[in-house]
């Protein structure tokens, strides 16, 4: 039996504890099961990282910056640490 390709799902976050659980649960409910979840967190002060780690996501902690860092920076960091054949980008408030 041929394995389905691994999909790396990259989610940039900062203080997304109100949204991330719903997002992660929607990934879990998907019919496609060969995936890894990479959460790139920019210094959350809430439970975003804990919720993500409890789900089993790989959490990359990015130091907070004085300057605005667009989500594309976090997506690129997540991409560099991914193992998937395909990359899928989500925001924490997406399902």
Residue 56 DSSP one-character state: T
Mean pLDDT of 20-33: 96
Specify the pLDDT at position 65.
75
Nearest to 72 by CA among 4, 17, 10: 10
- Say yes or no to pLDDT of 10 above 70: yes
> In which band, very low, low, confident or very high, does the pLDDT at 1 lie, cut at 50, 70 and 90?
low
Q: What does the mean pLDDT of the chain come to?
A: 93
Rounded Cα gap, residues 12 and 10, in angstroms: 7
Are the beta carbons of 12 and 71 closer than 8 angstroms? yes
Specify the pLDDT at position 68.
67
Mean pLDDT of 4-26: 96
């Amino acid at each position: 039996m041929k394995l389905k390709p691994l999909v790396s799902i990259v989610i940039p976050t900062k203080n997304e504890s109100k949204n991330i659980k719903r997002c992660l649960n929607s990934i879990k409910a998907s019919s496609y099961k060969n995936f890894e979840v990479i959460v790139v967190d920019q210094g959350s002060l809430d439970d975003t990282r804990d919720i993500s780690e409890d789900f089993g996501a790989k959490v990359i902690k990015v130091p907070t910056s004085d300057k605005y860092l667009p989500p594309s920076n976090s997506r690129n960091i997540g991409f560099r640490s991914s193992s998937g054949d395909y990359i899928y980008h989500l925001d924490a408030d997406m399902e």
